[in-house]
Amino acid sequence: MNRAEQKERLSEIIDTMEDVISGLKNVKPEYNELVGDFEKIRQKMENEGYDQVLDFYTDEFSNKLSVVMLEHHTDIENLRDLIDSFNDDIESYADEISESRAEKLHDRYMDLEDIIDRLSFSDEDIVLETIIETLEDDLQLIKNMKK
């Protein structure tokens, strides 16, 4: 995989990541409204003595909703697949080239594994804003790999 092919694949990853970030920013108002509505309902039930009815609180609802919005309103799965496939192809290519070139290749793409791990968002302590910030940080790392 020559450098031009690498840049082409990175461009596809960048475009997809930008689309995911844009999709999340577009659903953010709906997300905020839903979280606000949930908090109002929870508060009303608590004030009326029905706080036992809800087995989780607004933070937990917010976290679960963040992951649902990510999975259903973006192409996050495609993004994960693109990055994972690219990483696998880089590893295969590194096996075919000289050790010194492979080392340079690994240095250039050393953050890919971390990015892949971060893209596995769960509903544990994660809110929509954090997902967006993480994706924006990772987008910058990917852009730097393309230089």
Tell me the residue type at 71.
E
Number of domains composing the chain: 1
**Is pLDDT at 52 greater than 90 in this prediction?**
no
2: helix, coil or strand? Answer: coil
- What average pLDDT does range 70-82 have in this prediction? 92
pLDDT value of residue 42: 81
Predicted pLDDT at 127: 85
Tell me if 24 sits within 8 A of 73, measured CB to CB. Answer: yes
19-45: average pLDDT? 91
74, pLDDT greater than 70: yes
User: For a pLDDT cut of 70, what percent of the chain falls above it?
Assistant: 94
Q: Is the pLDDT of residue 58 over 80?
A: no
- Write the DSSP assignment of 48-98 as a string of letters: TT-TTT-SS-HHHHHHHHHHHHHHHHS-HHHHHHHHHHHHHHHHHHHHHS-
Q: For residue 48, what pLDDT is reported?
A: 84
Give pLDDT, residue 125. Answer: 62
Each residue's pLDDT tens digit, 81-134? 999 999 999 999 999 999 999 999 999 999 999 999 988 877 666 889 989 999
- The average confidence (pLDDT) of the chain is 90
CB neighbour burial string for 111-137, b if at least 16 within 10 angstroms, e if fewer? ebeebeeebebeeeebebeebbebbee
Find how far residue 26's CA is from the centre of its chain: 15
Its domain, for residue 79, covers 3-146
Q: Supply the pTM of this predicted model.
A: 0.87
Largest CA distance in the chain: 71
The angle subtended at Cα 139 by Cα 116 and Cα 147, nearest 5°, is 105
Higher pLDDT, 1 or 16: 16
